[in-house]
Structure 1
Amino acid sequence: MNTDDPVTQTKSTSRWVGPRGRRILHTGAWSMVSKASSAANLFLTVPFVLHALGPKLFGVWATLVSLVIFAGFLDFGLGNGTMNLVAAAHGRGEYDEVGYILREARRTLLWLALWLAIAASVALPLVPWHRLLGLPEAMAANCRAAAAAILFTVVFAVPLNLANRVQLGLGRGDRAFRWQALGQLLTMVMVIALAKSGAPLPLLVLAAVATPLLASVVNTWLLWLDPQMRSPAKKRYPAYASHIRREGLLFFVLQLAAALAYSTDLPLISALRGPTDAGTYAIVQRLFSIIPLSLGLIWTPLWPIYRQALATGDHKWVMRTLKLSVVLAVFIALSTGCILALGFGRIASLWVHQPLAVAGALLIGFVVWCTVDAAGTAIAAFLNAASIMRYQVITAAFFAVVCIGLKVWAIGHFNIWIVPWITAATFLFLNLVPTLLLGPRIIALTHSKTY
């Protein structure tokens, strides 16, 4: 039986067990390998870098490495827009269309990377990086070198991330995750080896953020060689490029709002409380990152499969899967968060090989935030696949502005324990609750759209 045929999928996949369910499980299994490799990299490198650099410079290293998250949205959402188009074309069985979409997306992202490289080259010598990181002027050269590693890693990652998004849209996410896993394991080995040899801050930053790109280069090259990914005609298809830019811009605003709300914690703490507090917060944050990393095993393959199901009109499967995913996400996040909070003292001693004084309010705050975030991300996977973007952009932008403003005020008046509580409360009341209240109207809209 041809399980890639949309008609066959629509008739035989009313449940998780079926072509879509098997695809989710297969991709999710390799996603688990990738996330496990990423978790190993996150956790095993910490004690080595902490020992090599000391608490203060470790806080700077953790802050700089966290900024590589910007590579995920500085493609201006074009990767996600491309994935949605590829998934819809694949779901409809229009396989020739995929090559046209890929060529237009690749051309657009290469131009974007060029402009980002120019901007990075201009900003690098002008910004006082050592002051932003709370270090003395004697560290100015090292800070600038470390910042250069971050900026140009982001530039190269923008076009290289396209291969992963296309493979997910085609239901071949397992291929992307294999290379991601290899990149994370190689990164772990490089960082540990350099830390044990006493490498300076810039080199440790470079190893942590640039090594994964080696796997992305190989993955992109293999996708380029795939004859099915080459469009038969060399002429331009501006309609595809326009659609990618239009939907991609909305994804970009959404990702930017999320990055500003979530990924500025360490820079804000470093600037307002000092790099030592930032280092403590980074350790707790990395431990609880197990939860979103684990749930990513579900959301990453589920998003493009939602899109394929919507393209074939299988709304019953989509709604049933959405409800199940929300319940499962909340259960996993809450139970895992409680286990991590209760066992934090012993986990931290085994992990960083030294006692770590952390307020209980900080740990409980991360449990609450991870649970709220899990429910929101489960819903967002469906909304992204359904291209319900303008509503998400409005709520996310409002949430980001309020969240950052409250954090800037609260970090100075309270302590770092307040940060996850602010994130959880603002997201719950400004994003999740309105989405649940408007749920029936949003679902009706998805049923009326053509994908």
Structure 2
Amino acid sequence: MILKELLSKFTLKGDSRGSKAKRQILYSFLLQGLSVLIGLLYIPLLLDYLTQEKYGIWLTLTSILGWFSFFDIGLGNGLRNKLAEAIALDDVELGQKYVSTTYALLIGIFGAVLVLFHGCNFFLNWNSILNTKGIANEELYVLTSIVFTFFILRFIVQLISVIYLADQLPSITKLMTTSGNLLSFILVIILTKFAAKGNLILLGTIISVIPVILFVIVSLFSFGGRYKAFRPTISKIDFKLSSELMNLGAKFFFLQITAIIIFSTSNIFITQFYGPEEVVVYNIAYKYFQVPIMVFSIVMTPIWSAVTDAYTKSDFTWLKNTLRQLNLLALVFALGVVAMIFISDWVYELWVGDQVKVPFSLSVVLAIYTIMYLVMAPYSHYINGTGKIKLTMTLAFAGIPIYLILVFVFGDLFSNSTGIVLAITLSSLIGLVIQPMQTYKILNKKATGIWDK
């Protein structure tokens, strides 16, 4: 009864925008808890089913395929902001045009990417790319063909999740993702019981196909029900709006490129410097310190579109008050990350046993990066929500050459992936200073020039 009263106060207190965000945070916490549990259980499951080398190959391969996500040129994030604005202004017809046009653009772009990839894939030497001889190149060709095809299709069908985000309902998006992960996890468990060990093709098929099927089903139900007014139709495609979507989307696109270059190439650099086995070590430590980021992201996810709504309506009081609360919460999370460092060895031992040994230095550097992310997250979400990301884009591009230089410097100085993580961390430092400055300029109506673009 007491718990029920507390939950009621939490979800109902405050204005409608704040109450909606609180409810979404609560629902998302429950779903994220299940998602984190699945992610933690996946690692020992796959380590047992695959060899450490094959698991490293799978992680590296998925990172490489992640590069192709930038081909949406930021249209998903562009739609998120534009649709949120249309909803705030109660312009349903404009919203439907944005949705229809975005689907048309994505189908055209990713259809071309799919044809191009399959035209080139036959000639690629995946053994050389993945630095391995433990699996036949023919098998890698089949694996990449299947995984990439459904990876591309997923980028089209998961657009329904962007619509829920724009409507400030991120818990539904989280429900889709978690449901897909849970179903895939159950099928992988069945696979490990009844199929021969080490079948990467079957594993890759399960993990890549299930989310696509789920998003298709959700799309059919959503456009037939809650979002019937936004249902994409050929007659509502308006390529005149594509410039609005693509101008904003292009900025997010460039941010995506920098993120992909830095985070997706980390596995490649680790593989080339230290071998695919070290990729597993890095990913175990990375997933451990991703936990506070994932939990904090639950709080931040509804903030993006809520900021768009508040900024469109010039509700600066709500924006300033909410930012103060988020900063305090980020500080609490940062203290929790410090505690995670001291129990990291015990957690790794409990989690994966003696199969993988994680250097303490790697844990420390990942913790520093995590704290930096937590501190910057409220400001980056505010900037994204207002759509004034040109400065962020410029800083991100400036960080790429710094990152690449530091990778080769620290890659030789360290005997494990600690150096690669240190390169990522140091190249992100400038954003820690600039993003808060821009946010406060925007909230105090003092942003001019590049600060206001």
TM-score (norm 1): 0.89
Q: Structure 2: which amino acid aligns with 1:37?
A: L
Unmatched 5+ stretches in structure 1: 1-14
Determine the C-alpha separation between the residues in 2 that align with 1:189 and 1:25: 31
Distance 1:146 1:231 in 2: 33
Aligned residues of 1:257 and 1:400 also touching (Cα < 8 A): yes
Shift of 1:444: 4.9
Q: Compared with structure 1, are the counterparts of its residues 288 and 137 closer, same or farther at alpha carbon in structure 2 (3 Å cutoff)?
A: closer
Mapped partners of 2:262, 2:46: distance in 1? 27
Indicate the residue corresponding to 1:128 in structure 2: 125
- Cα separation, 2, equivalents of 1:218 and 1:27: 22
Aligned to 2:255: 254
Deviation at 1:63, TM superposition (A): 2.0
| 1:271-290 alignment runs, 5 A limit | 271-290=272-291
Q: Match of 2:7?
A: none
1:38 match: 35
Two-structure CA RMSD over aligned residues (Å): 2.6
Other structure's SS at 2:387 match: coil
Which amino acid in 2 is paired with 1:377?
A
Distance change >3 Å, CA 442–CA 172, structure 1 → 2: closer
Q: CA 1:367–1:233 in structure 2 vs 1: closer, same or farther (change >3 Å)?
A: closer
The alpha-carbon deviation at position 292 of structure 1 amounts to 1.6
- Equivalenced residue count is 435
Task: Tell which deviates more after alignment, 258-267 or 29-38.
Answer: 29-38
Counterpart CA distance in 2 for 1:192 and 1:265 is: 29
On the 8 A contact 1:71/1:157 being kept in 2, the answer is no
Contact 1:49 1:58 (8 Å CA) reproduced: yes
2:58 corresponds to which of 50, 58, 61 = 61
What's the offset of the Cα at 1:153? 2.7
The one-letter amino acid paired with 1:319 is K
Summarize the alignment of residues 141-180 of structure 1 with structure 2, pairs less than 5 Å apart. 141-180=138-177
CA distance in 2, matches of 1:408, 1:395: 21
1:131 CA drift (Å):
1.1
Residue matched to 1:364 = 364
- 2:343 is equivalent to residue 343 of structure 1: yes
Contact 2:131/2:276 (8 A) holds in 1: yes
Match of 2:86 in 1: 89
Distance 2:207 2:384 in 1: 30
Q: 1:26 aligns with which of 23, 39, 44?
A: 23
Query: 1:444–1:148: structure 2 CA closer, same or farther, 3 Å change rule?
Result: farther
Shift of 1:103: 1.0
Structure 2: distance between partners of 1:92 and 1:450: 22
Query: CA contact under 8 A between 2:52 and 2:280: conserved in structure 1?
Result: yes
**What whole-Å deviation, never above 9, does each CA across 1:406-448 have from its counterpart, x for those lacking one?**
11332233131222222222211x2222333455444456889
Residues 234, 325 of structure 1: CA spacing in aligned structure 2 closer, same or farther, 3 A cutoff? Answer: same
Q: Which residue of the partner structure matches residue 113 of structure 1?
A: 110
Deviation at 1:106, TM superposition (A): 1.1
SS at match of 2:327: helix
Note the C-alpha offset of 1:74: 3.3
Q: Tell me if structure 1 keeps the 8 A contact 2:55–2:280.
A: yes
Shift of 1:254: 0.6
- For residues 330 and 261 of structure 1, what CA distance do their matches in structure 2 show? 26
Question: Partner letter of residue 241 of structure 2?
Answer: Y
Name the counterpart of 1:216: 215
Q: Deviations over 1:154-186 (max 9, x none)?
A: 211221121111111112333322222211111
Q: Which residue of 2 aligns with 1:395?
A: 395
Residues 362-406 of structure 1: CA distance to partner in whole angstroms, max 9, x if unpaired?
Answer: 111111100001122221111111111211111011112311331
Deviation of the 1:138 alpha carbon: 5.3
- For the 8 Å contact 2:92–2:230, the answer to whether it is kept is no
Alignment match, 1:7: none
Q: Percent identity?
A: 18
Structure 1 residue 213 displacement after superposition: 2.1
How big is each residue's C-alpha offset from its partner over 1:243-301, in whole Å with a ceiling of 9 and x where there is no partner? 11111111111111012112321121012210111111111111111122111102211
**2:311 alignment partner, SS class:** helix
Which residue pairs with 1:207 in the alignment? Answer: 206
Q: Which runs of 5+ in 2 are unaligned?
A: 1-11
CA distance in 1, matches of 2:205, 2:404: 28
Task: Give the stretch that moved more between structures: 24-33 or 272-281.
Answer: 24-33
Q: Which runs of 4+ in 1 moved over 6 A?
A: 446-451
Tell me how far 1:307 sits from its aligned partner: 0.2
